[in-house]
Amino acid sequence: MMINDNVLLITGSGRGIGAATALLAAERGYSICLNYLNDEKSAVNVRDQILSRGGKCIAIRADVSDERQVIAMFDDIDRQLGAITHLVNNVGILKQKMAMIDMDGERFQQVLLTNVMSHFYCSREAIKRMSLSRGGRGGAIVNVSSGAAKSGSPFEYVDYAASKGAVDTFTTGLSKEVAADGIRVNCVRPGGIYTDIHADGGEAQRVDRIAKNFPMQRAARRKKSPMPFCGC
């Protein structure tokens, strides 16, 4: 495996789309920083797979909804891999499905903090390092949204849907703000993909239930999901 000079941070990359993206990007020569919070075993497994194939990879535990931890993580990446050139804001949480009227404020706030503020914190620190006007060499940021941003997920996850709608708008504004500094900002809005997040929401087989709403009448497997992220 030939290592190039690109450094990629993927938040929430111990499993699911994040892990699949890390494995593909490593094959393409990126130096990888995996970020995780709770599932150290999965993150270490992904890291070890990359290292065993001749890639370069580190795994850092950090709560990316916490500004101080994000700043510390980026400083750690600087020391171990160099300044990042690519960022995938993948982290996201989903709570048990329920109607909005039954949700409490703490739940709604936690979803917004994790799914939106993490994108802000990580993007800000990445731009400081990528920006041409700050001595960087440009780069790319990919934000992970969801089809829920358009459907609204009524009676299930309107808090999650609202957070992903915010990600869409954040992407639009930020892309225009940093384009002249050599930074591309794009958003990928996956549809139904078989990942563990559905179990987190209380319905592990949810993708099978909603697959009939997709044009191809089926959901995607996570091994096919990272292609858009590595092409942005």
Domains in the chain, CATH or no CATH each: 7-225 (3.40.50.720)
pLDDT tens-digit series, residues 17-27: 899 999 999 99
pLDDT tens across 166-195, in order? 999 999 999 999 999 999 999 998 765 655
The yes-or-no verdict on residue 221 having pLDDT over 80 is: no
| Candidates 30, 121, 160, 194; catalytic one | 160
**Euclidean distance between CA atoms 137 and 190, whole angstroms:** 29
* Residue 89, strand partner residues: 143
Angle subtended at Cα 163 by Cα 157 and Cα 166, rounded to the nearest 5 degrees: 145
**Closest of 105, 120, 111, 107 to residue 167, by C-alpha:** 120
pLDDT score for 210 = 55
For 93-147, the pLDDT digits (tens) are: 999 999 999 999 999 999 999 999 999 999 999 999 999 999 999 999 999 999 8
Average pLDDT for 77-83? 98
CA 10, chain centre distance (Å):
6
Q: Look up 160 and say whether it is catalytic.
A: yes
* Structure tokens given for 101: 């009227």
DSSP string, 169-223: HHHHHHHHHHGGGTEEEEEE---SB--THHHHTT-TTHHHHHGGGSTTSSPBPGG
Residue with tokens 């949480």: 93
Phi–psi pair at 190, nearest 5 degrees: -65, 150
User: Which residue is listed with tokens 């709403």?
Assistant: 213
pTM of whole model > 0.95? no
Tell me what the mean pLDDT of segment 29-34 comes to. Answer: 97
The backbone torsions φ and ψ at residue 81, rounded to the nearest 5 degrees and listed phi first, read -125, -20
